[in-house]
Chains A and B, each alone.
Chain A
Amino acid sequence: MGRSQAVPRGSGGFGADGDDTGCPILHVDMDAFFASVEVRRDPSLRGRPVVVGGIGPRGVVSSASYEARRYGVRSAMPTARARALCPHAVYIQPDGAAYAAASRTVMGIFRDMTPLVEPLSLDEAFLDVAGARRLLGRPAEIAALIRQRVSDELGLTCSVGVASTKFVAKLGSTRAKPDGMLVIPAGKVLDFLHPLPVAALWGVGEKAAESLGRLGLRTVGDVARAPVRMLRASLGEAASAHLHELSWGRDPRGVSPEQVDKSIGAEVTFDTDVSEEVVIRRALLALSDKVGVRLRRSDQVGRTVSIKVRLADFRTVNRSRTLPVATDVAREVFETAWALFTALQPGDRIRLVGVRVEGLTSASGTPRQATLGEPEHGWRDAEAASDAAAARFGRGAIRPASLLKPASGESGGLSSRG
């Protein structure tokens, strides 16, 4: 999503009917996913600018319909700014459960095509369809089939890039948006790539684009033809080698279906900066609870608990502690997070707190060291029972007592990253 500004739209000599020989990689990206799900739920929104995002004063846009984008609204933009740009848009608080359900259906369609599906997020994935040829057809045919089924079964649109590498396929889907597909023939990758601005390269953000610009390198072609030595001086060893490879369309990464989470975490930005310990404690408890649920749902345990604290002046501090025994128990995550926080004594007002569990391993394969005097049924059982109740009655059916009355200063929406 973040790359979209860097890639100009329009066919530019490439289209849906290019030669797809040697192009087994598909990148499928749902169009304005969250906003489209909301429109599908309430058809009266069709054709109107729709913005899904945090409604609070510090909310951030998660997704904007193409009608809203015409006014300059973009994802990751503060909602307040979106409101200034497009005051008449419909603003909707994200409904994670609805998007997750739609995402499961979409991913299910992908997996009907090939087992080699690598989801990048709820709304995009790489597919390797090399092995599906005899069953389902050529890559471009499979791409068309996916677009057809997503439209028929979900009433949503998506865009597909078909190419020989992941990197180019992703650029292709961006270029095809919305509701389109683009084949970049294996022999024409450089024709496609070289006119693009440097920001289209994976790993080039604002800073890197700036330093490349100072060297007079504005397009991918400029980077490709620049001596690697020159890149190295401004970007460093690893990044320069990486960019040089990409600029020649070389991306050796395969589609790996087992995208194992390295960590599970959640964070919350307070509506107004807070200093009251009780508010922070409650936030850490809610975040730990959320992290615990996600750990147990994914059958994982982790040994390292870390907290992130962003102060009012945007200074950010991280602290972590490794437990003797891996856990998926929210109570243990919280106690560690709270100990880390109290030891930190930030001494300033706090804008954001986050809790993360790292060093994940599969729960069923991880031996668990028993603790002396632990009750036969401890927190883990309590939380498992709460998971079961939540599965039946919805999240929030059972929560820690101190979370029952949310403080007025907290926003309901917890942003989280996998």
Chain B
Amino acid sequence: MKFRVERDALADAVAWTAKSLPNRPSVPVLAGVMLRVTDGQLGVSGFDYEVSSQVSVDVQGDADGAALVSGRLLAEITKALPAKPVDIAAVGAHLELVCGSARFTLPTMPVEDYPTLPEMPASAGTVDAAAFAAAVAQVAVAAGRDETLPMMTGVRIELNGSTLAMLATDRYRLAMREMQWRPDDPEISINALVPARTLADTAKTLGPLGGDVTLALAHGGAGEGMIGFAGGTRRTTSRLLDGANYPPVRSLFPASHNAEARVTVASLNEVVRRVALVADRTTPVLLSFSDEGLVVEAGGTEEARASEAMEATFSGESLTIGFNPQYLLDGLAAVGSQNAVLSFVDAFKPAVISPAGDDGEIIPGYRYLIMPIRVTR
């Protein structure tokens, strides 16, 4: 194997692939990235049995072939290289890398020990990359991080005709985004539970590339239990989580509400951030809504207390409701609009944050549900 490649293209490809490598690989070869040159194309890939990443880069190939080297080391090296063309060649059991006057010799691992990467499942349809990335970010924030509840660590993707819906919940909040996409089969109806971290990372790298993302999801047959994403020259596959018993969370959105507040997202975000400085991890911020507006208060277990009033348009009976400040801030950051509508049933039932336009009307498509904290039992 011998080729010449642009420094930036190589550094990007290696950095992205190396990011998905396991920290403590079960077998040493999984700490490697595979470099494979065929017909002037360099394929860089990484795999940890759960997630595979592949990217192809145009190169000047002198000799086809493959080499497996430590992903972390190669990523650090390529990041530090000067902006000059990079020459890479496999020499015996080593990889020679020359860039300008810098020269590196890296040990390689046996290519034949590397597992075969899973095949990309069949395409299910496409969606705008930037819109998809934004939507995933809005939903993934609500997914759980507790590995003892694996189902909660996923984002549920529901594909029904031209509607793509994503949901995630950690049992304390629930985010749902619905958007349009272009299915290959207009009658499609599939659900999948994708690990939230993988989905968020993948969407974040595919979004800025522009264009479309292809969602690949097999129903039955080869590739069952896998999902694939392809955009530009990058492809990721991920094993799905078992979502057969995913609770019917849609029904948790209250069917009606008794009170509604319209707020400026940036102001509420700022006020909550400030007041929450005195709240510890388990104490809530209290939001008191009335005709006069909104008062946000918090008091830690010690003496420290804080309160701040701000403008809010409120309709309904006066109401005081407590939230985990971080859950509230996550929701405000996720709505992605200047204004938001908060709707309430009462102080003990789930509240819903929705994005709103300049006219104060709710923009459909996204809802963030948040469970209150009950201050007294």
Give the interface of A toward B (CB within 8 A). Answer: 303, 321, 324-326, 339, 361, 363-373
Contact = CB atoms under 8 A, between A and B. Distances in A.
Interface string B276-313: 00000011100000000000000001000000000000
Contacts of A363: 377
A364 B322 CA distance: 15
A370 B374 contact: yes
B222 to A, nearest CB: 34
Given A339-B148, A368-B377, A371-B171, 8 more contacts: A321-B148, A324-B172, A363-B377, A367-B282, A369-B172, A370-B371, A371-B172, A373-B171
Contacts of B283: 367
A367 B284 contact: yes
Contacts of A339: 148
B350 interface: yes
A367 B146 CA distance: 21
B375 interface: yes
A370 B373 contact: yes
A326 B377 contact: no
Contacts of A369: 172, 282, 324, 371, 373
B249 interface: yes
B169 A372 contact: yes
B252 interface: yes
Contacts of A372: 169, 171-174, 249, 252, 350, 369, 371
Contact of B374 (A303, A361, A367, A373): A367
Interface in B130-189: 146, 148, 169, 171-174
Contact of B373 (A303, A364, A368): A368
B377 A370 contact: no
B371 A367 contact: no
A373 B247 contact: yes
8 contacts: A325-B282, A339-B148, A361-B301, A363-B377, A367-B283, A368-B377, A370-B374, A371-B172
Please give me the 7 A-B residue pairs with the lowest Cβ-Cβ distance, nearest first: A370-B371, A367-B373, A368-B374, A369-B373, A367-B375, A371-B171, A372-B171
Contacts of A303: 282
Contacts, number: 52
Given A326-B282, A372-B369, A364 B377 contact: yes
B368 to A, nearest CB: 12
Contacts of A366: 282
Nearest to A361: B301
A170 B76 CA distance: 65
B376 interface: yes
B348 interface: yes
Contacts of B322: 367
Contacts of B377: 363-364, 368
Interface string B7-24: 000000000000000000
Contacts of B169: 372
A339 B284 CA distance: 29
Interface string B334-358: 0000000000000010100000000
A282 to B, nearest CB: 22
B308 to A, nearest CB: 19
Interface size class of B (residues with CB under 8 A): 20 to 34
A256 B68 CA distance: 67
B372 interface: yes
Interface in B194-250: 247, 249
B377 to A, nearest CB: 6
Nearest to B174: A372
Contacts of A373: 171, 247, 249, 252
B348 A370 contact: yes
A372 B370 CA distance: 8
A365 B375 CA distance: 8
A363 B376 CA distance: 9
A351 to B, nearest CB: 27
Contacts of A361: 301
Contacts of B373: 367-370
B371 to A, nearest CB: 4
Nearest to B248: A373
Contacts of B375: 367
Contacts of B172: 324, 369-372
Given A324-B172, A364-B377, A371 B371 contact: yes
A366 B252 CA distance: 25
Contacts of A368: 373-374, 377
Given A324-B172, A369-B371, A373-B249, A364 B348 contact: no
A369 B172 CA distance: 8
A340 to B, nearest CB: 10
A228 to B, nearest CB: 37
A339 B149 CA distance: 11
Contacts of B301: 361, 365
A45 to B, nearest CB: 46
Interface string B78-112: 00000000000000000000000000000000000
B301 to A, nearest CB: 8
A58 B174 CA distance: 51
A372 B373 CA distance: 11
Contacts of B171: 371-373
Contacts of A326: 282
A373 B170 CA distance: 12
A368 B283 CA distance: 9
Contacts of B252: 372-373
Nearest to B323: A369
Interface in B262-286: 282-284
A343 B207 CA distance: 39
A168 to B, nearest CB: 36
A324 B149 CA distance: 12
A373 B171 CA distance: 8
Contacts of A371: 171-172, 371
A321 B146 CA distance: 11
Of the listed residues A326, A339, A361, A373, the one surrounded by the most CB atoms of chain B closer than 10 A to its CB is: A373
B374 A364 contact: no
Contacts of A367: 282-284, 322, 373-375
The winner among A303, A371, A372 for most chain B CB atoms within 10 A is: A372
A239 B283 CA distance: 38
A49 B288 CA distance: 67
A408 to B, nearest CB: 33
